[in-house]
Amino acid sequence: MFRWLYRHYGLEKIEHLLGDFSKEGLPLKNPRKNLLKKQIMRHIDQVMSQETVEFSSLAKQLGRLNMDVAPSKDFKFKTRESLLTTLGLRLQRLDLGDLWNGVWGRRRYWSAVVAIMVVVIGVFGYTVHFPNQVLAARINTIEQIYGQVFIERDGQQIVAGEGMRIQEGDHILTEGQGMASIGFFDDTQVTIGLQSEVEILHLWVDPANSAYTIIQVEVITGRVWSQIVNLSNGSTFSVSSGKTVFTIDKKATFDVFVSEGKVEARVFDYLIYFEVTQGNVLRKGTLGRPLSITINSVEENLKIEPISDFSLLKQVDFWVQFNLESNQKHLDELAFYYQNEMVQIAGVLPGNVLYPTKRVAEETRLFLASDEVIKRKLLLEFAHIRFSEMVALFAKNDLKLGEKALSDYRVAFLNLARENEADVQMLLQQHKKILQGLPINSLGEVRKMLDEMLVQIVHDEKARGLIQLETTADRLGLALELMQLGGYDLAAKALEDYESQFEAMIDGLGNFDMAQRKELILAILDQKLEDLQYLKLIQAELGNLADEDRPEADSVQQQLIVLQKDTLFQLNALVLNLKERAVLYLSSFLKDVKNDEEIQKQILSRLKKGTQPSVEIMKLINDLEAFYDDNGEKVYTLSEEYL
């Protein structure tokens, strides 16, 4: 019908005429333009005929010109009308059937085009549309400077500046009223006080796993404040002065003051380890808040005592007040850093309309992986992205999608761990360190799940037992952290988890041969001594609560009582596992009299005689007994060895 109309009315000829007309356009007459041109040329001739050409005058005249030769409204209207007429005529001639037949006839060509587009998008589209941006890695730098601060490096003294990188072997000096704050790659912050000198002895990070670090700082003179935030298991941070060394393997806040013949350290939060060599005697132990230790190298003695006016110091002492405020600022900046990093790595989050496209792109990249090594790296990368998505969602308080992302993260890791145990364990340790640098909020259960996964992915029974010991002890640190933030119910839940996990660990000792069992029992006893000190720190935290907060913390108090009663039972169960026979019968009896302290003490006394443990194990048992019987509030241990 359309073709007949075209032939009958000559519409095709009209269409061609309209097209020619639109190409030629309308003649544009502008008499003012010709007049303006004549005036310009007349002025140029006049100026050029003079002996001195005033180019400034010429430029001024040219600058006044405003040549506007835009099409008129009538021309624009007719051109638009012509284009619409042409488009309408073209649409009337469009035959969808012919178009489909043309495409279908070349289906092999179009199939090849689509396949190439899928490959290109799969390989490059993820990078273009879903970039995994990463913030700059944390390095050792001077973060803040007050007054005069200098660095001695390679025999030369240079003026220190904020942002300057610190290297191994550097001497940092403060003069007059100068102070400096240093941020290390393990997230530790150190403040160097007035008129002090510090040497950076050792800076090490595992090239295969950035979660493992070792840092050693020597205080030559003056005062140093250290805040250690989130060391991974196996990492250490130490501050030394001569033959005195203070070491942290988890988390702590303390300061060290070195003067002639004397070293003093004060603990403001958590626990520190110390070793002091005086003559042929090595003294070592642990020190908790709020205690101080003074080592006199002249008299070769040491003294441990409570920090005088501990609560008042936070209000009137400038050094303490300044560093506590600086520490809080550091924690906020650290949380902001990790949150931003997670958001940028995550890219498009679940719930976004583009998220399915992102997952398809990941699957395409995995499908196109050329070998198993590249495939493994991609799986680790995607698992890290799942972790980043989970953290980003929890940070937005999107709990529903966060729980779904947590489930995806768990599945991704457990599938990956079947053939890549070492790589997965390394990545989980990095994730655990990141979580410890973030505000606890709703991430407590995520930390617990990570600990469970660290245990599940290990195939070697002995290694699994040691990791289970570490993750179980971490429950106490988490409980103390939650208490300081006012999360008493969550703190009580962490203590409850500690109890159940510790007993499960003891029950599993029967699966090991005697040699491995003794090694594990030695490690458990050593850890239990530290655990009892953490329980005292939690008890001290309860004692510092205001009266109105005590009812809310009652669940923590009840759980502490349970853990205190369980100590002797756990100690007896550990010693009992040193026997080859009759373990099951005596274990049942121990559980029946679990809450009877007097009977548990009698059993322990007989077990020590009957099992004849090694000297090392016997010493730990005696230390645990003594610490259990000590009802004081001081949190420290001290032992001596002759060299």
**pLDDT grade for 462, boundaries at 50, 70 and 90:** confident
pLDDT band at residue 412, thresholds of 50, 70 and 90?
A: confident
pLDDT mean over 362-388: 86
Give the count of beta carbons closer than 10 Å to the beta carbon of residue 132. 14
pLDDT above 80: residue 417 = no
pLDDT > 90 in the chain, percent = 23
Q: Which amino acid is at 498?
A: Y
DSSP state of 626: H
Rounded to an integer, the average pLDDT of 43-51 is 59
For the stretch 629-641, pLDDT in tens is: 777 667 888 888 8
Cα 520 to Cα 226, 339, 510, 577: the distances in Å are 33, 38, 11, 10
pLDDT, tens digit, for every residue of 91-105? Answer: 555 556 666 666 666
Residue pLDDT, tens place only, 308-322? 887 788 788 899 999
Q: Please give the pLDDT value at position 375.
A: 85
Q: Degrees (nearest 5) of the Cα angle 565, 566, 570?
A: 145
What is the per-residue pLDDT for 34? 67
pLDDT in tens, 159-214: 999 999 999 999 999 998 999 999 999 999 999 999 999 999 999 998 888 889 99
Residue 559 reports pLDDT greater than 80: yes
What pLDDT, on a 0 to 100 scale, did the predictor assign at position 129? 41
Residue 214 CB-density burial (10 A; 0-12 exposed, 13-18 middle, 19+ buried) = middle
pLDDT at 19 over 90: no
Q: What is the pLDDT of residue 264?
A: 96
Q: Round to whole Å and give the CA distance between 447 and 436.
A: 8
Residue 131 banded pLDDT, cuts 50, 70, 90: very low
**Between 2.60.120.620, 2.60.120.1440, 2.40.50.90, 3.90.1150.10, what CATH number should domain 141-328 receive?**
2.60.120.1440
Secondary structure (DSSP) of 443-460: -HHHHHHHHHHHHHT--S
pTM: 0.76
Q: How far apart are CA 188 and CA 166, in angstroms?
A: 14
- Residue 147 three-state SS: strand
Mean pLDDT, residues 218-234 taken together? 93
**pLDDT band at 9; cut points 50, 70, 90:** very low
Q: Lowest mean pLDDT: which of 94-103, 221-230, 520-529, 542-551?
A: 94-103
> How far apart are the C-alpha atoms of 391 and 343, rounded to whole Å?
8
What SS3 state is found at 517?
helix
Q: What is the pLDDT of residues 432-459, one digit of tens each?
A: 888 888 876 667 778 888 888 888 888 8
Angstrom CA distances, 338 to 164, 209, 218, 506, stand at 22, 17, 29, 36
pLDDT at 588: 67
Report how far Cα 9 is from the mean position of its chain's Cα atoms: 77
pLDDT confidence of residue 5? 46
> How deeply is 534 buried, as exposed, middle or buried, from its count of CB atoms within 10 A (0-12, 13-18, 19+)?
buried
Q: Looking at residue 1, what is its pLDDT?
A: 45
- Cis previous bond, 613, omega within 30: no
Which residue is associated with the tokens 């003794």? Answer: 518
Q: What is the mean pLDDT of the chain?
A: 80
- Asked if pLDDT for residue 219 goes beyond 60, the answer is yes
* Residue of 625, 387, 390, 386 whose CA lies nearest to 525: 625
pLDDT at 486 over 50: yes
DSSP assignment of 371-437: SHHHHHHHHHHHHHHHHHHHHHHHHTT-HHHHHHHHHHHHHHHHHHTTT-HHHHHHHHHHHHHHHHT
Plot region of 457 (φ>0 → left; ψ -120 to 50 → alpha; else → beta): alpha
User: Does residue 217 carry a pLDDT above 90?
Assistant: yes
Whether the CB-CB separation of 184 and 140 falls below 8 Å is answered with yes
What is the rounded distance in angstroms from the CA atom of residue 70 to the CA atom of residue 626? 99
- Residue 227's DSSP bridge partners are 189, 253
Q: Tell me how far apart the alpha carbons of residues 542 and 268 are, in angstroms, rounded to a whole number.
A: 16
Q: Quick check: 263 pLDDT over 90?
A: yes
> How many residues are listed for the chain in this entry?
643
Q: For residue 375, what are its two tokens?
A: 């495939």
pLDDT of residue 90: 57
> Looking at residue 173, what is its pLDDT?
96
